[in-house]
Amino acid sequence: MLRNKGFTIIELMVVIAVVGLLAALTIGGFRSTFEKTRLDEDKNKIRAFYQRTNRYAITDGWDYKIEIDRVNEFLRCTKDTPASTTKDSIGLRPELDLIFAGAKSPIVLTVNANGTVDDDDNIRTFRVGDSETGDTLIFYISPLGIMEVEKK
């Protein structure tokens, strides 16, 4: 008896199901890696903003204010003069939330011309929470002007 060589429809469906399962697992792994990378980029963006503000203060010889606005989800840097205008600012992605103690928004930090940092309301810590991943970045700016970041 002559038998046809080839695959049955059942064998083909099993192979397609296995390939689909492996593809789904791989895509899920890439997605979580991509989300973590985006949070690291946000951390670096905020650190770079702070470093630019510190450099403006030291280079210009003026104090600069950093406003961290929880309502509008942005950080802004202004020269500490009566006619202050925005020198630099960054907005956050819609998935990110600014969180800090106290009801007042924005909180204001003053970066002095010598690089030290004063706070208006004794608040030096703020958090950036990612609603997609549940991760949180905790930023602390010391009186000496050093920014520390912790991921939780």
Please tell me the total count of domains within the chain: 1
Q: Which residue in 64, 67, 104, 102 sits closest to 84, CA to CA?
A: 64
Q: What's the predicted TM-score (pTM) here? A: 0.74
> Among all chains, which residue has been given the structure tokens 């390939």?
19
Give pLDDT, residue 96: 87
DSSP collapsed to 3 states, the chain: CCCCCCCCHHHHHHHHHHHHHHHHHHHHHHHHHHHHHHHHHHHHHHHHHHHHHHHHHHHHCCCEEEEEECCCCEEEEEECCCCCCEEEEEECCCCEEEECCCCCCCEEEEECCCCCEEECCCCCEEEEEECCCCCEEEEEECCCCCEEEEEC
Give pLDDT, residue 72: 83
Domain span holding position 22: 9-151
Q: Which residues of the chain have pLDDT under 70?
A: 1-3, 32, 34-35, 102-103
Q: Which residue in 120, 122, 142, 123 sits closest to 54, CA to CA?
A: 142
Is 112 among the domain residues?
A: yes
Which of helix, strand or coil describes residue 95? coil
What DSSP string describes 120-135? SSS--EEEEEETTT--
Give pLDDT, residue 14: 93
Is 18 among the domain residues?
A: yes
Give pLDDT, residue 1: 58
Is 3 among the domain residues?
A: no
Is 2 among the domain residues?
A: no
First to last CA, the chain: 68
Give pLDDT, residue 122: 79
Phi, psi for residue 53 in degrees, rounded to 5? -60, -45
Q: Give the domain CATH number at 52.
A: 3.55.40.10
